[in-house]
Amino acid sequence: MPLKIIRQDITKIECDAIVNPTDPHYSHSGGTDAAIHEAAGSALYEACIAQGELGIGDAILTPAFALPSKYVIHTVGPIWQGGNSDEESALRSCYAACLALALGNRCESVAFPLIASGRFGFPKDRVLKIATDVIGDFLFEHEMLVYLAVYDKDSYAISEKLFSDIESFIWDNYEDDGLMFCYSRRMEDASPRPVKIRKQRKESVSYPCAPCASPTPTPDLDDMLRNLDCGFAETLFRYIDEKGISDVDCYKRANVDKKTFSKIKCNKKYKPSKVTAVSFAIALRLNIDETNHLLNTVGMSLSRSNKFDVIIEYFITTGNYESIFDVNEVLYKFDQITLGV
């Protein structure tokens, strides 16, 4: 199952387990820790204390009591000290230990916050990168639905160069009803609005008529129906074979769950959403022609009038990403739907 990045109060997520970032003594003195204890009730603190002091990078599991989940997994993240005290390794241990506990208790779904990014001061963008790395590696080996509750875009600190490159690409390629939109990044001292620039229309030019060609034969509908192109499923599996990867690697790279992939495999007429089709194109690293070919099998294509499509085209044409989560980071930053199912 995939990793889903969502904007939601973690205490309201209905899943098998939620993760509580706490301290060694479960003091629930602020942030997510306090919110979880308040929502669960006083019995949660008593259950924590009964398990003894908790070390950095470790995790324990308790009932969730009044929360909508079954369990709460408690973990202690590292206090940020500039990055020179093995903080990243300790944070990786937090995520790995929580996932191991969820797996050991047969959880099918678990929700994480950005551990240690609040009062412990760990930079949010680094937490996000570590979280997606550890969770992504875990999901390559195991089936589980993992939520990552993220509240703000500051967590997605994409580089200035990448932001500028994508913004320029949007400027050069994004068209809508004859208008081109220029999006300027908001700065502290200025917040420019999108500028609409009307595209110049070329003067019409008349050319002499070409010699009359033989009339085109009228197509035969029966012949056309007998020679339909391959559908989405057949085209997808042909590309999987051509790229030399396994089915499992493909759907995990696409951030698509096993159930959806099985539906595609068992139903030659399966019609996916555009987001699902694009997710497979990114997972398979298809070029722009191959991507449009895959999309065409279900009557879709990448359009220059859709910002989501233009951003996808940027990544396909530049290959400037390591995983689908890099693409999702940018889509989130530009207020677009993220990839996966």
146 is in which domain, residue-wise? 3-155
Looking at the fold, whether 86 and 206 belong to one and the same domain comes out as no
Asked whether residue 223 is domain-assigned, the answer is no
Q: How many domains does the chain have?
A: 2
Examine the pLDDT at 275 and tell me if it is beyond 50. Answer: yes
**pLDDT at position 1 over 90:** no
Q: 172 and 146: one domain?
A: no
Using CA of residue 286, residue 256, residue 132, residue 240, what is the dihedral sign?
negative
pLDDT digits (tens, 9 = 90+) for 22-40: 999 998 877 899 999 999 9
Q: What is the pLDDT of residue 88?
A: 96
Residue of 33, 177, 223, 309 marked catalytic: 33
What pLDDT is recorded for position 156? 60
pLDDT classification of 300: cutoffs 50, 70, 90: very high
pTM of the model: 0.75
Q: What's the mean pLDDT when you consider all of the chain?
A: 84
Asked whether the beta carbons of 150 and 4 are under 8 A apart, the reply is no
State percent of the chain over pLDDT 70.
81
User: HSE of 305 in the Cβ direction (CA atoms, 13 Å)?
Assistant: 5
Domain CATH for 129? 3.40.220.10
Co-location of 98 and 211 in the same domain: no
Tens of pLDDT, residues 244-263: 999 999 999 999 988 899 99
- Whether residue 83 is found in the same domain as residue 165: no
pLDDT of residue 12: 94
- CA 169 vs. chain centroid, Å, equals 21
3-class SS shares of the chain: helix, strand, coil, % to 5? 45, 15, 45
Same-domain pairing of 128 and 195: no
Residue after which a domain boundary falls, among 155, 177, 205: 155
Identify whether 221 is part of a domain. no
Distance from chain centroid for Cα 240: 21
Is 340 domain-assigned? no
Buried-exposed string 257-273: b where 16+ CB fall within 10 A, e elsewhere: beebbeebeeeeebebe
> In this structure, is residue 267 part of a structural domain?
yes
Q: Are residues 167 and 148 in the same domain?
A: no
Residues 23 and 151 in one domain: yes
**Is the confidence at residue 177, as pLDDT, over 60?**
no
Q: Do 199 and 114 have their domain in common? A: no
Q: For 5, list phi and psi in degrees, rounded to 5.
A: -95, 120
**Within a domain: 28:** yes
> Are 211 and 275 part of one and the same domain?
yes
Highest mean pLDDT among 7-16, 86-95, 294-303, 331-340: 86-95
Same domain, 151 and 174: no
152-156, Cβ contacts within 8 angstroms, sequence gap of 24 or more: 152/124, 153/332, 153/333, 154/124, 154/125, 155/114, 155/117, 155/124, 155/125, 155/127, 155/128, 156/125, 156/128, 156/329, 156/330, 156/332, 156/333
Do 119 and 101 fall within a single domain? yes
How would you list the strands of the sheet with 3-6, edge to edge?
Answer: 3-6, 145-149, 109-112, 17-22, 71-76, 59-63
Among the ranges given (6-10, 133-137, 309-313), the one the predictor scored with the smallest mean pLDDT? 6-10
pLDDT (0 to 100) of residue 226: 52
Average pLDDT estimate for 11-28:
94
**Is residue 341 domain-resident?**
no
Q: What's the whole-number mean pLDDT along residues 47-62?
A: 95
What is the structure's pLDDT at 153? 63
Report yes or no on 248 lying in a domain: yes
If pLDDT is split at 50, 70 and 90, which confidence band does 166 have? confident
Q: Are both 265 and 235 inside the same structural domain?
A: yes
From 127, 155, 183, give the residue that closes a domain: 155
146 falls within a domain: yes
DSSP 60-110: EEEE-TTSSSSEEEEEEPPPPSSS-SSHHHHHHHHHHHHHHHHHHTT-SEE
Is 223 a known active-site residue?
A: no
CA 267 to mean position of chain CA atoms: 26
* pLDDT for the residue numbered 220: 63
Q: Quick: pLDDT tens for 186-224.
A: 333 434 444 444 444 444 444 455 555 556 666 665 655
Give phi and psi for 79, each to the nearest 5.
Answer: -80, 130
335 has a pLDDT exceeding 70: yes
What average pLDDT score do residues 265-281 get?
93
**Percentage, residues of the chain above pLDDT 90:** 58
Res 135 pLDDT > 50: yes
Domain boundary, last residue among 155, 185, 202: 155
